[in-house]
Amino acid sequence: MQQNKVLGKVDSINKGANYANTSLILEDKSRLNVKLDQVDDSILQVGKIYEFELETYLREEVTNYRALAIRPIEDLGLDSDTFNNIQSNFYDFAPLPLSVMKKEIEVFLNKIENKVLFEVTNNIYRKYQNVFYTHPAATKFHHAYVGGLAYHTLTMLKMIEPLVNIYSYLNKDLLYAATLLHDISKINEMTGVDGEYTTEGLLLGHLVMGSIEIEKAALVLGYQDTEEVMLLKHLMIAHHGQLTFGSPKKPQTGEALLLWFIDTMDSKFTELGNELDKVKPGEFTQAIGVLDKMRFYKPKI
């Protein structure tokens, strides 16, 4: 028998009455099936990276692997460069460096002049800021990569100012606050890139979970009875626009309507761009699910 350590991303977990196995994707993109009968596998989540201490043994001339210990890479004490390099071997990353996105997003956060909106938004942002910049915006389709949540949020924030300059009756502070927070509960709705939806995510969803986060922050800060908090919660639960898209309420303020539109615009145009990148000028894309399964032409001009 031999023992060695490997880094692997959990691809699937298979449990039965008398066994527990996991399928790993390794840094070289190869796959490995590992038995988990000697360790506590409760920490494992699909889509997450762990260090596995493995025991290798032969059975009927077939090499088998048994986990002796499991540690999340976050617990390995790695410096940020090493940590990011490891992640880059397993995941796709946002088009912008995480540090650049953080700097730009915090510029928008500090533009919020309304005291209630700033303090509530800042309270929630600081609570999740570390994982916010590495989390995806989805498990598939738009922004499903490391930093996808932050990149999607930043793109939307950049849309607000020119539109508010045209439609001056819209409240910029409310839009900045709601955009910063609109998808932040995806951190608890899904486990991560290539991950799965959590029980809370499946039963409540990030719109309701986001509204609950706002209520919690408002109670701590003593702002629970303010109009700002009520409006912010409305934008949370209405930002999917339609009941059939998962919104408990349809938008009933101008700000809620715009949040829905820019969220939809970024998600659809991002996916369209991804599909256009796969074809040559003069060709059509495959049918795109988020765009009513339409095929789009890539101009030659």
pLDDT in tens, 26-37: 888 899 999 988
Residue 191 located in a structural domain: yes
Do 149 and 46 belong to one domain? Answer: no
Do 45 and 104 belong to one domain? Answer: no
CATH no. for residue 54?
A: 2.40.50.140
Residue 270 located in a structural domain: yes
Across 9-13, 79-83, 226-230, 236-240, least confident range? 79-83
Residue 292 located in a structural domain: no
Do 154 and 238 belong to one domain? Answer: yes
Global confidence as pTM = 0.78
Q: What is the pLDDT of residues 154-183, one digit of tens each?
A: 999 999 999 999 999 999 999 999 999 999
Residue 188 located in a structural domain: yes
Do 103 and 70 belong to one domain? Answer: no
Do 19 and 155 belong to one domain? Answer: no
Q: What is the pLDDT of residues 122-160, one digit of tens each?
A: 999 999 988 888 888 766 656 677 888 999 999 999 999
Q: What is the DSSP string of the chain?
A: -EEEEEEEEEEEEEE-SS-EEEEEEETTS-EEEEE-TTS-GGG--TT-EEEEEEEEEEETTEEEEEEEEEEEGGGS---HHHHHHHHHTTS-B-SS-HHHHHHHHHHHHTT---HHHHHHHHHHHHHHHHHHTT--S-SSSTT-SBTHHHHHHHHHHHHHHHHHHHSTTS-HHHHHHHHHHTTTTHHHHB-STT--B-HHHHHTHHHHHHHHHHHHHHHHHT-TTSHHHHHHHHHHHHTT-SGGGT-SS---SHHHHHHHHHHHHHHHHHHHHHHHTTS-TT-BPPPBGGGTTB--B----
Residue 212 located in a structural domain: yes
Do 247 and 108 belong to one domain? Answer: yes
Residue 197 located in a structural domain: yes
Domain of residue 57, residue span: 2-75
Report the domain count for the chain.
Answer: 2
